[in-house]
């Protein structure tokens, strides 16, 4: 079946610290992988995606590389800001066999000045 | 382009009451999804429509939940009767048919059942 496992939070970092949020997946076929972000009181926003092995998704200083050999899609950022405080969700779709999302449980990040 | 519109934003009801949520997808998006996000968890798919037909409703608790998509555009999700464990954010999303994960999510409706 399809599933996503994320590192549990909450995560608290000081401003300018390095961020890693681990994500591993189980999927049939060759899924597309995503990171979504949810700011307090807001909806889900696509942060980045990768649709095939070895692809790197990047946006707003965040990066994640699709690693088929380790079935992972870890999120990284070199220097976090207070404005990055949010909940981060890793997700996959088994496209083209299906296009529904399978989400992880989310990781809450708080960045302190 | 306009985003996915959902209403209401918030709803508080007593258990055993009925409630309905409305979603207007992005114009031209044939596929529409309803997800349930319980506090502290990731969203889970309830039902997927393609145009006005149901593609997947295997996760929908059909004894109390129903959904329809009239004319392949707007959609409503209904709960009757509501239970305490239905307290969650209900997210609507829409996408083009051939877009891997190319979703746009609405802001959601936060339901509290007391």
Flag whether pLDDT at A40 surpasses 80. yes
Among chain B residues, the shortest Cα distance to A41 is held by B107
Instruction: Compute the average pLDDT of residues A102-113.
Output: 95
Question: Which of A93, A104, A106 lies at the smallest CB-CB distance from B101?
Answer: A93
Name the more confident of A13 and B2.
Answer: A13
Flag whether pLDDT at B77 surpasses 80. yes
| Cβ-Cβ contacts under 8 Å, A44 against chain B | 43, 91, 105
The answer to whether the Cβ–Cβ distance between A91 and B106 falls below 8 Å is no
| Cβ-Cβ contacts under 8 Å, A95 against chain B | 100-101
CA angle A101–A105–A110, rounded 5-degree value: 120
Q: Give me the total of CB pairs closer than 8 Å, taking one residue from chain A and one from chain B.
A: 55
Q: Is A50 exposed, middle or buried (0-12, 13-18, 19+ CB in 10 A)?
A: buried
Flag whether pLDDT at A87 surpasses 70. yes
Residues 6+ positions from B88 with CB-CB distance below 8 Å? B36, B37, B38, B39, B110, B111
Cα separation of A94 and B76, whole Å? 26
Flag whether pLDDT at B103 surpasses 90. no
CB B13 within 8 A of CB B82: yes
User: Which residue in this structure is represented by tokens 């909450």?
Assistant: A10
Interface test with A, best of B103, B107, B108, B110 (most A CBs within 10 A): B103
What's chain B's length in residues?
A: 114
Q: Which of A13-27, A86-100, B56-70 has the lowest mean pLDDT?
A: A86-100
């Amino acid at each position: 079946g399809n599933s996503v496992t994320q590192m549990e939070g909450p995560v608290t970092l000081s401003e300018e610290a390095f961020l890693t949020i681990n994500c591993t997946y189980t999927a049939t076929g060759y899924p597309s992988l995503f990171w979504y972000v949810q700011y307090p009181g807001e909806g889900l926003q696509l942060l980045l995606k990768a649709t095939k092995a070895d692809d790197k998704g990047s946006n707003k200083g965040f990066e994640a590389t699709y690693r088929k050999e380790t079935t992972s899609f870890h999120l990284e950022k070199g220097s976090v800001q207070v404005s990055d405080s949010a909940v981060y969700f890793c997700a996959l779709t088994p496209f083209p066999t299906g296009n529904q999302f399978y989400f992880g449980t989310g990781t809450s990040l708080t960045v302190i000045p | 382009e306009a985003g996915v519109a959902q209403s209401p934003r918030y709803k508080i009801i007593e258990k055993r009451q009925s409630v309905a949520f409305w979603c207007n997808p992005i114009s031209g998006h044939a596929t529409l999804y309803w997800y349930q996000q319980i506090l502290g968890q990731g969203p889970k798919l309830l039902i997927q429509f393609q145009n006005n037909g149901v593609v997947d409703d295997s996760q929908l608790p059909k004894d109390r939940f129903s959904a329809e998509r009239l004319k392949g555009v707007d959609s409503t999700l209904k709960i009757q009767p509501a239970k305490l464990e239905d307290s969650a954010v209900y997210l609507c999303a829409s996408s083009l048919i051939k877009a891997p994960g190319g979703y746009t999510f609405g802001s959601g409706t936060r339901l509290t059942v007391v």
